[in-house]
Amino acid sequence: MNAERRSLLLVGGAIISAMLLVGIYLAAGGASYTPEKTQDPCKHRAWRNPEGLQQIAEQFTLSALDGAACQLGVSRETLARALATPESRERFKKRYDISDAKLAKAVRAGLLRAVDDAEEAGALSPILAAPLRETLRSIPLDQAIELINNAESLLDNVEGFLGPAQSFLEQLLP
């Protein structure tokens, strides 16, 4: 084989090898090997057939997180981790430049959305949802902050998260 042919073979081999590698990795999912996208918290998320107080409360928590996250312009997951401990809450507020008032307002809006979602899912009767909404709306701002600050974490347990709403739910649920 002459020198020119060997040169062509080398360059051709390099091109084919490079294209093969890139093609195989693309076909194996290289372009889509990324973290799953989280859902927009402003979009409605259907409840999963909640049964019993514990599951309703869990769905209620997730709906409230969605609602509050939507208000704050962050993901539900980011807010969930932010509210896990007082320290993480402080880091979150600092990072996103969020005041206590803004956070409390967002959490209150989240709770209201959770009532809406519970009602829509049939977990809460419309007759009972109305007074619950009124109660949540009338929670003053400082009480909303108290609800956040006093709970070791909003996600610490369901009771801590629901706070005053929990007692309402227990009374109003069938």
Partner 1 sequence: MLVSFNLVMALAAVPAAHLARRVGPGRAAAVGLAVFAGAGLACAASDQLSTLIAARCVQAVGGALAVTAVLELLPATVGSERRAAALWATAGATGAALGPAIGGLLTELVSWQSIFLVQVPIAIAAAVPILAVARHEAATGVLSTELRQTGRPHFLANLALALVSAAIAGALFLLVLLLIEGWRLSPIGAAIVVSVMPLAALLGSRLDRLVPSARARAAAGAILVSGGLGGLALLPRAEVALTVPPQVMIGIGLALVLSALTETALSGRAPQAIHGGWTISARHAGVVIGILAVTPIFTHDIAQQRHDAIDAGTAVILDSKVPPLLKLDLAQKIESHLAGEKGKVPTIGPAFEPLPSDPEEHDQVVELREELQDQLNRGATHAFSPSFGLAALIGLLSLIPIGLARRVEL
Each residue 84-123 as x (binds partner 1 by CB under 8 A) or -, in order, gives xx-xx--x--------------------------------
CA–CA distance, 19 with 33 (Å, rounded to integer): 19
Q: Counting contacts by CB under 8 A, is residue 46 touching partner 1?
A: no
CA–CA distance, 64 with 162 (Å, rounded to integer): 9
Quick check: 158 and 114 in contact, CB under 8 A?
A: no
By CB under 8 A, which span of 21-29, 106-114, 134-142, 164-172 interacts with partner 1? 21-29
The helix or strand, by DSSP H or E, that contains position 55, with its residue range, turns out to be helix 52-72
Among 132, 155, 165, 169, binds partner 1 (CB under 8 A): 155
Smallest gap from Cβ 160 to partner 1, in A, equals 9
Quick check: 117 and 44 in contact, CB under 8 A?
A: yes
Among 93, 105, 120, 153, binds partner 1 (CB under 8 A): 153
